[in-house]
């Protein structure tokens, strides 16, 4: 079994609802187990146009190989009406593999860790929310990259009610910290 982290993003249609539905869809897959979900974040588009995005990260466990997981992610994106028009085009759902265990993969259609993971608040902040000490293979501690994304607007819009996360927060005795001002979490 491999512990993997998926990044979800949407900025077309009701992105907030789409992300919730996509997490339910992931949880229904018999080939993966969703272990935890970050809060939902509203984020400014990075290297992209269109409306603000909604983003979150989920931790999953799977016996799939990384390429099989990519195929599953793309099938789910398609299911949610994803169209590939141009790079970084507004999208109903983007489902990226951020981390796949300790693996480093550099294949034609799959690069892991996700090559832009450390450059973006919308991936780093929710990832660190799920595991404050998480390491990125080949890069080191994820939180060491937070200063580099501090100028990117990211706002926590919904707090995860997952018991696993609540336990993790209690254990660390701290709330999530993120670059920029976070709004007060509002449960949804
Ligand atoms: N691919 C390679 N590695 C991976 C991986 N680890 N996970 C390949 C998923 N896919 C991977 O992706 C293009 C190709 O990347 C795939 O065919 C796959 O084989 P795509 O999803 O079809 O196209 P894309 O998303 O437009 O391009 P890309 O390069 O994935 O863009 P990013 O890096 O995902 O960025 N701003 C905010 N605030 N929030 C966002 O979510 N997202 C993007 C897209 C830009 N700006 C954003 C957001
Ligand atoms: Mg993508």
Is the C-beta atom of 48 inside 6 A of ligand 1?
Answer: yes
% the chain with pLDDT above 70: 78
% the chain with pLDDT above 90: 71
What tens digit of pLDDT does each residue of 121-156 get? 999 999 999 999 999 999 999 999 999 999 999 999
Q: Whose CA is nearest to atom 35 of ligand 1?
A: 88
Cβ within 8 Å of residue 128, ≥6 positions away: 134, 142, 143, 146, 176
Residue 127 to residue 142: CA distance in whole angstroms:
8
* Catalytic pick among 21, 51, 52, 82: 82
Q: How far is the CA of 53 from the centre of ligand 1 (A)?
A: 13
What tens digit of pLDDT does each residue of 91-111 get? 689 999 999 999 999 999 999
pLDDT band at 49 (very low <50, low <70, confident <90, very high): confident
Q: Quickly list H helices, the chain.
A: 15-28, 66-79, 121-130, 163-172
Domain positions in the chain:
2-159
Predicted confidence (pLDDT) at residue 176 exceeds the cutoff of 80: no
CA angle at 132 for the pair 127 and 138, rounded to the nearest 5°: 70
* Of residues 108, 98, 103, 114, the one with CA closest to residue 137: 103
- CA trace torsion 112, 89, 14, 53 (10° rounding): 60
Is the C-beta atom of 122 inside 6 A of ligand 1?
Answer: yes
pLDDT at 28: 95
Q: Whose CA is nearest to atom 17 of ligand 1?
A: 109
Residues 121, 179 contacting (CB under 8 angstroms): yes
Q: How far is the CA of 186 from the centre of ligand 2 (A)?
A: 27
Residue 111 burial (10 A CB sphere; 0-12, 13-18, 19+): middle
Yes or no: domain 2-159 corresponds to CATH 3.30.70.560: yes
Residues 134, 142 contacting (CB under 8 angstroms): yes
Predicted confidence (pLDDT) at residue 177 exceeds the cutoff of 50: no
Mean pLDDT of the chain: 87
From 110, 157, 178, the mutation candidate for ligand 1 (largest count of ligand atoms within 8 A of CB) is 110
Predicted confidence (pLDDT) at residue 164 exceeds the cutoff of 80: no
Active-site residue, 87 included: no
Residues 98, 5 contacting (CB under 8 angstroms): yes
Q: Nearest bound ligand to CA 120?
A: 1
pLDDT band at 181 (very low <50, low <70, confident <90, very high): very low
pTM over the 0.85 mark? yes
Sign (positive or negative) of CA dihedral 173, 32, 64, 62: positive
């Amino acid at each position: 079994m491999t512990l993997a982290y998926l990044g979800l993003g949407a900025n077309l249609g009701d992105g907030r609802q789409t992300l919730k539905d996509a997490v339910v869809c992931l949880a229904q897959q018999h080939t993966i187990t969703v272990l935890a979900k970050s809060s939902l974040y509203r984020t400014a588009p990075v290297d992209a146009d269109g409306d603000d995005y909604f983003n979150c990260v989920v931790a999953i466990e799977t016996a799939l190989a990384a390429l099989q997981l990519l195929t599953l992610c793309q099938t789910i994106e398609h299911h949610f009406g994803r169209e590939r028009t141009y790079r970084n085009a507004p999208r109903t759902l983007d489902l990226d593999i951020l981390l796949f265990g300790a693996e480093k993969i550099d294949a034609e259609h799959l690069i892991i860790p996700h090559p832009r993971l450390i450059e973006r608040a919308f991936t780093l902040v929710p990832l660190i929310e799920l595991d404050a000490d998480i390491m990125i293979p080949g890069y080191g501690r994820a939180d060491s990259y937070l200063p580099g994304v501090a100028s990117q607007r990211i706002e926590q819009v919904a707090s995860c009610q997952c018991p696993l996360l609540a336990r993790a927060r209690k254990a660390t005795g701290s709330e999530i910290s993120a670059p920029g001002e976070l709004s007060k979490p509002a449960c949804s």
